[in-house]
Amino acid sequence: MNFELGQERRLIREQIRELCADFGDDYWREKNRNHEFAWEFFDTFADDGWCGITIPQEYGGQGYGVQEAALVQQEIARSGAAMAGTSITSHHVFSTAPLVEFGDEEHKRRYLPKIADGDVMVCTGVTEPNAGTDTSRIETFAERDGDEYVVNGQKIWTSKAQEADVIMLLARTAPREESDRFGGLSLFFTEFDRDMDGVEVSEIPKAGRGAADSNEVWFDDVRVPAADRIGEEGDGFSYLLSFANSERISIAANAVGIGQAAVEKASDYAREREVFDSAIGSYQAIQHPLADAWSKLELDELAVRKAAWLYDNDEDAGAAANAAKLRASEDALEACERAMRVHGGMGYAQEYDVERYWRETMINVIAPISNEMVKNYIGQHVLDLPRSY
């Protein structure tokens, strides 16, 4: 395995850093404070061609893999955009994968070029309030009616449902008792708008990431063309699961970026802030926690690269992706807390941004799956221990 970035990936990193330079902490702080969607950032991201980074070239994308996509997510987070910036862009990078892999040609032609151009916004509807981590328990039902499905149910934590034009929706097409645990679930990629008949969208107030909305979504007799179903009826969960590792890699890369931003911010402050006639960065009580955090994030970045390499080379990336997600999210949260402590009382002030990083990186610990479930995976599938849940 070669985890060196190489010339092309170094160029991608430089280009993303240049793009993000126009959207610094001041921009994201204001968007977060006002709960405004960061359209200026998204439009620039789209205009520069990054929405289609993992979409094949024949559909207007760049055809890169998860290695490049993860690098993009890391640098966006590191710029100060944190989780808000990566949430706005990650669905374009990762949520199209089931359509690319399992969709029919007409379905792909209908949506992928527009997504690659940034002309449409993507959201994902999977999680439900009565199911949570156990996806087999979802209740949203899509009943076949001729050439359409009629959808009824509720989704929660649907990011960007306020702005979305399309949704990747997981729904039940057969009762749970009539199929195996994860059978009877179908995946749709279809048009979506909060003003559609039968659709109700309500934003969820939350601790952070104010520049990217999270929502509850209700479906009441919403009609979806059967042609918008991805692959075979009842196989939707297997399609979704085949890309779970790429999502974990994305989350890990995002966490590394936020942690790096926090360490850099704290180091800058520690060089300038003087107490007892010395810069506080000269004290080991300040230096050592930051040095420790930096070293952990360096290792986490390598773990992300390993997992992404395995994924792109069709190797089993499950253990590596889960390990990267676990360590990077925990280490980033620790780095953000240490950055706040370095700032002292000002670490709690919005103007220094580290409190925003701290609030947003917590998402990586609990989503898209909690670190407790990640440990369950490692225990069962890596250490060959009995199933614990």
The residue ranges of every structural domain in the chain are 6-117, 122-234, 240-382
State the fold for domain 122-234. Answer: Butyryl-CoA Dehydrogenase, subunit A; domain 2 (2.40.110)
pLDDT in tens, 285-332: 999 999 999 999 999 999 999 999 999 999 999 999 999 999 999 999
Note the pLDDT of residue 2.
65
pLDDT value at 94 more than 80: no
pLDDT in tens, 22-36: 999 999 999 999 999
H or E element, residue 316: none
pLDDT value at 351 more than 80: yes
Token pair in block for residue 373: 């479930």
pLDDT value at 355 more than 90: yes
State the fold for domain 240-382. Answer: Butyryl-CoA Dehydrogenase, subunit A; domain 3 (1.20.140)
pTM: 0.95
pLDDT band at 3 (very low <50, low <70, confident <90, very high): low
Note the pLDDT of residue 45.
95
CATH code, residues 6-117: 1.10.540.10
Q: How far apart are CA 202 and CA 218, in angstroms?
A: 9
Average pLDDT over residues 102-116: 96
Token pair in block for residue 353: 């941004």
Note the pLDDT of residue 134.
86
pLDDT in tens, 330-344: 999 999 999 999 999
> What amino acid occupies position 70?
A
pLDDT in tens, 148-180: 999 999 999 999 999 999 999 999 999 988 777
Burial class of residue 113, CB neighbours in 10 A (0-12, 13-18, 19+)? middle
